[in-house]
Structure 1
Amino acid sequence: MESVFKAVCVAALLATGVAHADVGREEGLDEAVRQFAAKVEAEWQQCLKNPNTRTTKDSDLCLLSMVRASNERVEEKYQEKMVTAQHMAEHPDSFATYETVPSLLKDSQALWKQYVKADCDGIYAESAAGTARSGYALFCRYKHALHRLRALDEWL
Protein backbone atom coordinates (compact mmCIF):
# COMPACT_ATOMS: atom_id res chain seq x y z
CA MET A 1 0.00 0.00 0.00
CA GLU A 2 2.84 2.35 0.84
CA SER A 3 4.46 1.80 -2.57
CA VAL A 4 1.18 2.65 -4.30
CA PHE A 5 0.95 5.86 -2.27
CA LYS A 6 4.54 6.76 -3.19
CA ALA A 7 3.85 6.07 -6.86
CA VAL A 8 0.78 8.30 -6.77
CA CYS A 9 2.75 11.07 -5.05
CA VAL A 10 5.58 10.87 -7.58
CA ALA A 11 3.10 10.91 -10.47
CA ALA A 12 1.36 13.94 -8.97
CA LEU A 13 4.66 15.78 -8.59
CA LEU A 14 5.65 14.99 -12.16
CA ALA A 15 2.27 16.12 -13.48
CA THR A 16 2.50 19.34 -11.49
CA GLY A 17 6.00 20.01 -12.82
CA VAL A 18 4.93 19.42 -16.42
CA ALA A 19 1.83 21.59 -15.99
CA HIS A 20 3.91 24.38 -14.47
CA ALA A 21 6.46 24.15 -17.29
CA ASP A 22 3.64 24.34 -19.82
CA VAL A 23 2.19 27.42 -18.11
CA GLY A 24 5.61 29.06 -18.24
CA ARG A 25 5.91 28.23 -21.93
CA GLU A 26 2.43 29.64 -22.61
CA GLU A 27 3.23 32.84 -20.74
CA GLY A 28 6.45 33.23 -22.71
CA LEU A 29 4.66 32.76 -26.02
CA ASP A 30 1.94 35.23 -25.01
CA GLU A 31 4.60 37.74 -24.02
CA ALA A 32 6.36 37.39 -27.38
CA VAL A 33 3.13 38.23 -29.21
CA ARG A 34 2.48 41.16 -26.85
CA GLN A 35 5.98 42.52 -27.50
CA PHE A 36 5.51 42.20 -31.25
CA ALA A 37 2.15 43.97 -31.00
CA ALA A 38 3.62 46.76 -28.85
CA LYS A 39 6.38 47.32 -31.41
CA VAL A 40 4.14 47.55 -34.48
CA GLU A 41 1.51 49.58 -32.61
CA ALA A 42 4.17 52.08 -31.52
CA GLU A 43 5.23 52.45 -35.15
CA TRP A 44 1.58 52.93 -36.11
CA GLN A 45 1.18 55.66 -33.47
CA GLN A 46 4.32 57.40 -34.74
CA CYS A 47 2.91 57.32 -38.25
CA LEU A 48 -0.36 58.84 -37.03
CA LYS A 49 1.57 61.66 -35.30
CA ASN A 50 3.36 62.56 -38.52
CA PRO A 51 2.28 66.06 -39.64
CA ASN A 52 1.65 64.68 -43.13
CA THR A 53 -0.95 62.25 -41.80
CA ARG A 54 -4.08 64.36 -42.15
CA THR A 55 -6.86 62.37 -43.76
CA THR A 56 -8.63 59.10 -43.13
CA LYS A 57 -6.77 57.70 -46.12
CA ASP A 58 -3.46 58.77 -44.57
CA SER A 59 -4.30 57.10 -41.27
CA ASP A 60 -5.44 53.98 -43.13
CA LEU A 61 -2.02 53.86 -44.79
CA CYS A 62 -0.44 53.91 -41.33
CA LEU A 63 -2.70 51.09 -40.26
CA LEU A 64 -1.96 49.18 -43.46
CA SER A 65 1.72 49.27 -42.56
CA MET A 66 0.91 47.64 -39.22
CA VAL A 67 -1.26 45.01 -40.92
CA ARG A 68 1.48 44.22 -43.42
CA ALA A 69 4.07 43.81 -40.66
CA SER A 70 1.80 41.47 -38.73
CA ASN A 71 0.91 39.43 -41.81
CA GLU A 72 4.59 39.15 -42.73
CA ARG A 73 5.32 37.84 -39.24
CA VAL A 74 2.47 35.32 -39.57
CA GLU A 75 3.91 34.13 -42.88
CA GLU A 76 7.41 33.84 -41.41
CA LYS A 77 6.14 31.83 -38.46
CA TYR A 78 4.01 29.66 -40.76
CA GLN A 79 7.06 28.90 -42.91
CA GLU A 80 9.09 28.03 -39.79
CA LYS A 81 6.35 25.68 -38.63
CA MET A 82 6.10 24.13 -42.10
CA VAL A 83 9.82 23.32 -42.07
CA THR A 84 9.33 21.58 -38.72
CA ALA A 85 6.24 19.75 -40.00
CA GLN A 86 8.07 18.52 -43.10
CA HIS A 87 11.00 17.39 -40.98
CA MET A 88 8.62 15.44 -38.75
CA ALA A 89 7.05 13.77 -41.80
CA GLU A 90 10.47 12.89 -43.23
CA HIS A 91 11.79 11.55 -39.91
CA PRO A 92 9.06 9.51 -38.23
CA ASP A 93 9.61 8.11 -34.78
CA SER A 94 8.43 4.89 -33.17
CA PHE A 95 5.09 6.46 -32.19
CA ALA A 96 3.82 8.00 -35.44
CA THR A 97 4.70 8.79 -39.02
CA TYR A 98 3.48 12.42 -38.98
CA GLU A 99 2.85 12.22 -42.73
CA THR A 100 -0.33 14.31 -42.52
CA VAL A 101 1.15 17.12 -40.42
CA PRO A 102 2.41 19.29 -43.34
CA SER A 103 -0.88 19.08 -45.25
CA LEU A 104 -2.90 19.76 -42.10
CA LEU A 105 -0.80 22.83 -41.34
CA LYS A 106 -1.19 24.01 -44.93
CA ASP A 107 -4.97 23.49 -44.73
CA SER A 108 -5.08 25.29 -41.40
CA GLN A 109 -3.32 28.32 -42.87
CA ALA A 110 -5.55 28.42 -45.96
CA LEU A 111 -8.72 28.12 -43.88
CA TRP A 112 -7.50 30.83 -41.52
CA LYS A 113 -6.98 33.18 -44.49
CA GLN A 114 -10.51 32.42 -45.74
CA TYR A 115 -11.95 33.09 -42.30
CA VAL A 116 -10.12 36.40 -41.92
CA LYS A 117 -11.26 37.53 -45.36
CA ALA A 118 -14.90 36.67 -44.64
CA ASP A 119 -14.86 38.17 -41.15
CA CYS A 120 -13.12 41.42 -42.07
CA ASP A 121 -15.03 41.82 -45.34
CA GLY A 122 -18.18 41.58 -43.23
CA ILE A 123 -16.96 44.31 -40.91
CA TYR A 124 -16.13 46.44 -43.95
CA ALA A 125 -19.59 45.84 -45.44
CA GLU A 126 -21.49 46.64 -42.26
CA SER A 127 -19.58 49.92 -41.92
CA ALA A 128 -20.62 51.08 -45.39
CA ALA A 129 -22.08 54.36 -44.18
CA GLY A 130 -18.91 55.60 -42.50
CA THR A 131 -15.58 56.97 -43.64
CA ALA A 132 -13.63 54.76 -41.23
CA ARG A 133 -14.78 51.47 -42.75
CA SER A 134 -11.36 50.68 -44.22
CA GLY A 135 -9.79 51.31 -40.84
CA TYR A 136 -12.21 48.94 -39.14
CA ALA A 137 -11.51 46.22 -41.69
CA LEU A 138 -7.75 46.73 -41.51
CA PHE A 139 -7.78 46.62 -37.72
CA CYS A 140 -9.81 43.41 -37.96
CA ARG A 141 -7.06 41.87 -40.10
CA TYR A 142 -4.43 43.01 -37.62
CA LYS A 143 -6.23 41.47 -34.63
CA HIS A 144 -6.65 38.20 -36.52
CA ALA A 145 -2.94 38.17 -37.37
CA LEU A 146 -2.05 38.47 -33.69
CA HIS A 147 -4.38 35.59 -32.89
CA ARG A 148 -2.84 33.52 -35.68
CA LEU A 149 0.67 34.17 -34.38
CA ARG A 150 -0.39 32.69 -31.08
CA ALA A 151 -2.26 29.80 -32.74
CA LEU A 152 0.81 28.90 -34.78
CA ASP A 153 2.74 28.62 -31.53
CA GLU A 154 0.62 25.56 -30.73
CA TRP A 155 2.18 23.72 -33.66
CA LEU A 156 5.53 22.09 -32.86
Structure 2
Amino acid sequence: MKNTFTGICMGSLLVMSTSHADVGREEELDEAVRQFAAKVEAVWQECLRRPDVHGTNGSEMCLFAMKRSADEQVELKYQEKLAHAQQMTEHPDRYSTYEEVPVLLKASQSHWKEYVKSDCEGIYQQSVSGTARGTFALMCKYKHALQRLRALDEWY
Protein backbone atom coordinates (compact mmCIF):
# COMPACT_ATOMS: atom_id res chain seq x y z
CA MET A 1 0.00 0.00 0.00
CA LYS A 2 2.81 2.37 0.94
CA ASN A 3 4.63 1.63 -2.36
CA THR A 4 1.44 2.29 -4.32
CA PHE A 5 0.92 5.60 -2.55
CA THR A 6 4.57 6.57 -3.13
CA GLY A 7 4.25 5.64 -6.81
CA ILE A 8 1.13 7.76 -7.20
CA CYS A 9 2.81 10.72 -5.49
CA MET A 10 5.93 10.43 -7.65
CA GLY A 11 3.85 10.14 -10.83
CA SER A 12 1.79 13.17 -9.85
CA LEU A 13 4.94 15.14 -9.10
CA LEU A 14 6.40 14.21 -12.48
CA VAL A 15 3.21 15.25 -14.32
CA MET A 16 2.97 18.51 -12.38
CA SER A 17 6.61 19.46 -12.99
CA THR A 18 6.29 18.68 -16.72
CA SER A 19 3.12 20.73 -16.88
CA HIS A 20 4.81 23.59 -15.03
CA ALA A 21 7.75 23.44 -17.45
CA ASP A 22 5.35 23.81 -20.39
CA VAL A 23 3.68 26.78 -18.72
CA GLY A 24 7.09 28.34 -18.11
CA ARG A 25 8.04 27.87 -21.76
CA GLU A 26 4.73 29.33 -22.90
CA GLU A 27 5.28 32.36 -20.69
CA GLU A 28 8.81 32.79 -22.07
CA LEU A 29 7.54 32.69 -25.64
CA ASP A 30 4.76 35.17 -24.85
CA GLU A 31 7.24 37.49 -23.17
CA ALA A 32 9.62 37.38 -26.14
CA VAL A 33 6.85 38.47 -28.50
CA ARG A 34 5.69 41.15 -26.03
CA GLN A 35 9.23 42.55 -25.79
CA PHE A 36 9.58 42.60 -29.57
CA ALA A 37 6.21 44.35 -29.92
CA ALA A 38 7.09 46.90 -27.23
CA LYS A 39 10.35 47.74 -29.00
CA VAL A 40 8.74 48.10 -32.42
CA GLU A 41 5.79 50.07 -31.06
CA ALA A 42 8.14 52.46 -29.24
CA VAL A 43 9.85 53.21 -32.55
CA TRP A 44 6.39 53.71 -34.09
CA GLN A 45 5.41 56.20 -31.37
CA GLU A 46 8.70 58.02 -31.81
CA CYS A 47 8.06 58.23 -35.55
CA LEU A 48 4.60 59.69 -34.93
CA ARG A 49 6.15 62.47 -32.81
CA ARG A 50 8.48 63.62 -35.58
CA PRO A 51 7.74 67.15 -36.79
CA ASP A 52 7.55 66.05 -40.44
CA VAL A 53 4.80 63.50 -39.76
CA HIS A 54 1.40 65.03 -40.50
CA GLY A 55 -2.01 63.56 -41.19
CA THR A 56 -2.97 60.13 -42.38
CA ASN A 57 -0.11 59.70 -44.84
CA GLY A 58 2.50 60.43 -42.18
CA SER A 59 0.95 58.15 -39.60
CA GLU A 60 0.55 55.37 -42.17
CA MET A 61 4.22 55.76 -43.09
CA CYS A 62 5.14 55.17 -39.42
CA LEU A 63 2.70 52.27 -39.12
CA PHE A 64 4.04 50.73 -42.32
CA ALA A 65 7.58 50.84 -40.88
CA MET A 66 6.33 49.04 -37.76
CA LYS A 67 4.52 46.41 -39.85
CA ARG A 68 7.61 45.95 -42.05
CA SER A 69 9.75 45.31 -38.95
CA ALA A 70 7.27 42.69 -37.76
CA ASP A 71 7.13 41.08 -41.22
CA GLU A 72 10.93 40.96 -41.38
CA GLN A 73 11.02 39.27 -37.96
CA VAL A 74 8.43 36.72 -39.09
CA GLU A 75 10.44 35.98 -42.24
CA LEU A 76 13.65 35.61 -40.23
CA LYS A 77 11.97 33.27 -37.73
CA TYR A 78 10.37 31.29 -40.57
CA GLN A 79 13.73 30.86 -42.33
CA GLU A 80 15.33 29.69 -39.06
CA LYS A 81 12.57 27.13 -38.51
CA LEU A 82 12.72 25.97 -42.13
CA ALA A 83 16.51 25.52 -41.94
CA HIS A 84 16.09 23.52 -38.72
CA ALA A 85 13.38 21.37 -40.32
CA GLN A 86 15.58 20.67 -43.32
CA GLN A 87 18.49 19.73 -41.04
CA MET A 88 16.21 17.26 -39.28
CA THR A 89 15.45 15.49 -42.56
CA GLU A 90 19.17 15.03 -43.15
CA HIS A 91 19.39 12.77 -40.09
CA PRO A 92 16.82 10.03 -40.73
CA ASP A 93 18.38 7.88 -38.04
CA ARG A 94 17.39 10.42 -35.35
CA TYR A 95 14.33 12.08 -36.93
CA SER A 96 12.64 9.40 -39.02
CA THR A 97 9.21 11.05 -38.98
CA TYR A 98 10.24 14.56 -39.98
CA GLU A 99 10.71 14.26 -43.74
CA GLU A 100 7.49 16.15 -44.55
CA VAL A 101 7.98 18.96 -42.02
CA PRO A 102 9.74 21.39 -44.41
CA VAL A 103 6.96 20.95 -46.97
CA LEU A 104 4.28 21.45 -44.31
CA LEU A 105 6.07 24.49 -42.90
CA LYS A 106 6.25 26.08 -46.37
CA ALA A 107 2.56 25.38 -46.94
CA SER A 108 1.71 26.79 -43.53
CA GLN A 109 3.61 30.01 -44.26
CA SER A 110 1.91 30.36 -47.63
CA HIS A 111 -1.55 29.78 -46.12
CA TRP A 112 -0.81 32.28 -43.38
CA LYS A 113 0.08 34.95 -45.95
CA GLU A 114 -3.13 34.25 -47.88
CA TYR A 115 -5.16 34.43 -44.68
CA VAL A 116 -3.63 37.76 -43.64
CA LYS A 117 -4.31 39.22 -47.07
CA SER A 118 -7.94 38.13 -47.10
CA ASP A 119 -8.53 39.05 -43.46
CA CYS A 120 -6.88 42.45 -43.48
CA GLU A 121 -7.53 43.65 -47.00
CA GLY A 122 -10.84 41.99 -47.72
CA ILE A 123 -12.62 43.02 -44.53
CA TYR A 124 -11.32 46.56 -44.44
CA GLN A 125 -12.04 47.19 -48.11
CA GLN A 126 -15.67 46.38 -47.40
CA SER A 127 -16.24 47.73 -43.90
CA VAL A 128 -14.05 50.81 -43.45
CA SER A 129 -14.33 53.85 -45.64
CA GLY A 130 -12.10 56.82 -46.31
CA THR A 131 -8.50 57.29 -45.35
CA ALA A 132 -8.76 55.07 -42.28
CA ARG A 133 -9.04 51.95 -44.46
CA GLY A 134 -5.29 51.72 -45.03
CA THR A 135 -4.50 52.33 -41.37
CA PHE A 136 -6.84 49.58 -40.21
CA ALA A 137 -5.45 47.15 -42.78
CA LEU A 138 -1.83 47.87 -41.75
CA MET A 139 -2.63 47.45 -38.06
CA CYS A 140 -4.43 44.19 -38.82
CA LYS A 141 -1.38 42.88 -40.69
CA TYR A 142 0.90 43.93 -37.86
CA LYS A 143 -1.21 42.07 -35.28
CA HIS A 144 -1.23 38.96 -37.46
CA ALA A 145 2.56 39.16 -37.77
CA LEU A 146 2.86 39.12 -33.96
CA GLN A 147 0.56 36.10 -33.80
CA ARG A 148 2.63 34.34 -36.46
CA LEU A 149 5.85 35.06 -34.57
CA ARG A 150 4.32 33.40 -31.53
CA ALA A 151 3.13 30.43 -33.57
CA LEU A 152 6.55 29.94 -35.15
CA ASP A 153 8.20 30.18 -31.71
CA GLU A 154 6.13 27.22 -30.51
CA TRP A 155 7.68 24.94 -33.08
CA TYR A 156 11.15 23.72 -32.17
Residue number in structure 2 paired with 1:55 = 55
Give me the whole-angstrom Cα distance separating, in 2, the residues matched to 1:57 and 1:94: 53
Residue number in structure 1 paired with 2:87 = 87
TM-score, scaled to structure 2: 0.94
Asked if structure 2 preserves the Cα contact closer than 8 Å seen for 1:33 and 1:146, the reply is yes
Asked if structure 2 preserves the Cα contact closer than 8 Å seen for 1:40 and 1:66, the reply is yes
Give me the whole-angstrom Cα distance separating, in 2, the residues matched to 1:133 and 1:151: 27
Residue number in structure 2 paired with 1:151 = 151
Structure 2 alignment gaps of length 5 or more? none
1:127: Cα distance to partner? 4.2
Residue number in structure 1 paired with 2:67 = 67
Residue number in structure 2 paired with 1:40 = 40
How much is the aligned-residue C-alpha RMSD, in angstroms? 1.4
Q: Identical aligned pairs, as a percentage?
A: 60
Asked if structure 2 preserves the Cα contact closer than 8 Å seen for 1:44 and 1:66, the reply is yes
Give me the whole-angstrom Cα distance separating, in 2, the residues matched to 1:41 and 1:127: 26
Indicate the larger mover: 88-97 or 108-117: 88-97
Give me the whole-angstrom Cα distance separating, in 2, the residues matched to 1:81 and 1:93: 20
Residue number in structure 2 paired with 1:76 = 76
Residue number in structure 2 paired with 1:8 = 8
Give me the whole-angstrom Cα distance separating, in 1, the residues matched to 2:95 and 2:40: 41
Give the residue type in structure 1 aligned to 2:15. Answer: A
What count of residue pairs does the alignment treat as equivalent? Answer: 156
TM-score, scaled to structure 1: 0.94
Structure 1 alignment gaps of length 5 or more? none
Give the residue type in structure 2 aligned to 1:87. Answer: Q
Give the residue type in structure 2 aligned to 1:33. Answer: V
The C-alpha deviation readout for 1:16-38, integer Å capped at 9, x for no partner, is 11111111111111001000000
Aligned residue for 2:154, secondary structure, equals coil
The C-alpha deviation readout for 1:43-83, integer Å capped at 9, x for no partner, is 10111111110121111010000000000000000011111
Residue number in structure 2 paired with 1:113 = 113
Give me the whole-angstrom Cα distance separating, in 1, the residues matched to 2:106 and 2:151: 14
Aligned residue for 1:92, secondary structure, equals coil
Assess, with a 3 A threshold, how the Cα gap between structure 1 residues 110 and 62 changes in structure 2: closer, same or farther: same
Give the residue type in structure 2 aligned to 1:85. Answer: A
Asked if structure 2 preserves the Cα contact closer than 8 Å seen for 1:123 and 1:136, the reply is no
Aligned residue for 2:99, secondary structure, equals coil
Give me the whole-angstrom Cα distance separating, in 2, the residues matched to 1:95 and 1:75: 25
